[in-house]
C-alpha cells in the first residue's frame, strides 16, 4: 500500500493546511494511495482523509513526533511518503514513490543554495518503507528528553541515526525552497496585518522544469503569502 502522511500537532497549522495538502496530492498523484493525518485534533479535516491519533508522549511536541513514522507498529504497511504541512504540491509526484525503491529518501537541506555539497537533512519530505530504520523510533523513545535537548530538531536526530550509504537525497530540483530558491531570497519585511514576515513585494517564482513541490519553511507560510502563484496552487 502507498501512504501519504502528515502530522498536525497543536495550533500552528489549521485544518485548512491538511485539506489543501490533501487536495494538492489528489491533483498530482495518479497511483493508488491513502492519505493519513496523525493529529490530536481532527476538527475541520475533510472526510476523505484517514485520521489517526498521535500517541502523545509527555515532553514531546511538534516536529519531535516525526520519529513515530519509523515505528513498525504504527499501523501502516507499505511505502510511506511524509509531507510537512507547509509544502505546496503543484506537479505530478508519482516519481516520489518510484525513485530508488526501498531506499530511505529525504531532502538535502536548503542551505545547499549557499554551501556547496551541504550534507544535512531537511525532513519536510521523506519516504520510507514500514520497519525501515526502526531504531530511529526505538532509541528516541528510550528517553525523548535526551535527543530533544541535544539536537535542534527532528531532522538533526534523523541525520545522526541514519547511517551513510543507507539513504539517498531527493534530486534537488524536485523539491525547492520557495523563498530561497524559487523566489531567489527576496527581502522580507514585517507584515503587520498578517503577522510574521512576508515578501516586501509580491512576485512570480522561478520554477525549474522538474520541480513539483515548494517548501515554505520559516516565513512566510502559504496563507500569508500574497504571491498569485501561491493562491493558484495552494487550494
Give the DSSP letter of residue 201: S
Cis bond upstream, residue 220 (ω within 30): yes
Q: What is the pLDDT of residue 195?
A: 78
pLDDT in tens, 6-18: 999 999 999 999 9
pLDDT in tens, 111-129: 998 888 899 999 999 999 9
Give the DSSP letter of residue 166: S
* d(C-alpha 60, C-alpha 70), whole Å: 16
Domains of the chain from N-terminus onward: 2-170 (3.90.550.10)
Compute the residue count for the chain.
235
Q: Considering all CA atoms of the chain, what is the largest pairwise distance in Å, rounded to the nearest integer?
A: 48
60 phi/psi in degrees, rounded to 5: -105, 130
pLDDT at 86 over 90: yes
Top-confidence residue, 105 or 194: 105
DSSP bridge partners of 208: none
5 phi/psi in degrees, rounded to 5: -125, 155
* d(C-alpha 184, C-alpha 113), whole Å: 10
- Rounded (10°) CA dihedral 128, 130, 132, 134: 120
Q: Is 164 helix (H, G, I), strand (E, B) or coil?
A: coil
Q: What is the pLDDT of residue 68?
A: 97
Least confidently predicted of 25-29, 139-143, 187-191: 187-191
- pTM of the predicted model, to two decimals? 0.96
Amino acid at each position: 500500500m502507498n501512504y501519504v502522511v502528515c502530522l498536525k500537532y497543536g495550533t500552528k497549522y489549521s485544518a485548512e493546511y491538511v485539506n489543501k495538502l490533501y487536495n494538492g496530492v489528489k491533483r498530482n498523484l495518479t497511483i493508488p494511495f491513502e492519505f493519513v493525518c496523525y493529529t490530536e485534533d481532527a476538527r475541520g479535516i475533510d472526510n476523505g482523509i484517514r485520521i489517526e491519533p498521535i500517541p502523545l508522549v509527555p515532553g514531546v511536541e511538534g516536529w519531535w513526533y516525526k520519529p513515530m513514522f519509523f515505528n513498525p507498529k504504527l499501523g501502516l504497511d507499505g511505502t510511506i511518503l511524509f509531507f510537512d504541512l507547509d509544502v505546496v504540491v503543484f506537479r505530478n509526484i508519482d516519481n516520489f514513490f518510484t525513485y530508488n525503491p526501498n531506499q530511505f529518501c529525504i531532502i538535502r537541506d536548503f542551505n545547499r543554495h549557499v554551501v556547496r555539497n551541504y550534507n544535512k537533512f531537511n525532513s519536510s519530505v521523506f519516504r520510507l518503507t514500514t520497519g525501515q530504520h526502526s531504531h530511529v523510533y526505538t532509541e528516541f523513545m528510550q528517553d525523548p528528553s535526551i535527543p530533544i535537548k541535544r539536537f535542534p530538531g527532528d531532522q538533526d536526530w534523523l541525520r545522526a541515526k541514519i547511517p551513510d550509504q543507507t539513504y539517498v537525497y531527493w534530486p534537488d530540483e524536485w523539491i525547492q525552497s520557495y523563498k530561497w530558491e524559487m523566489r531567489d531570497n527576496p527581502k522580507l519585511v514585517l507584515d503587520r496585518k498578517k503577522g510574521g514576515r512576508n515578501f516586501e513585494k509580491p512576485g512570480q517564482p522561478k520554477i525549474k522544469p522538474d520541480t513539483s513541490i515548494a517548501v515554505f519553511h520559516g516565513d512566510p507560510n502559504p496563507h500569508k503569502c500574497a504571491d498569485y502563484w501561491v493562491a493558484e496552487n495552494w487550494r
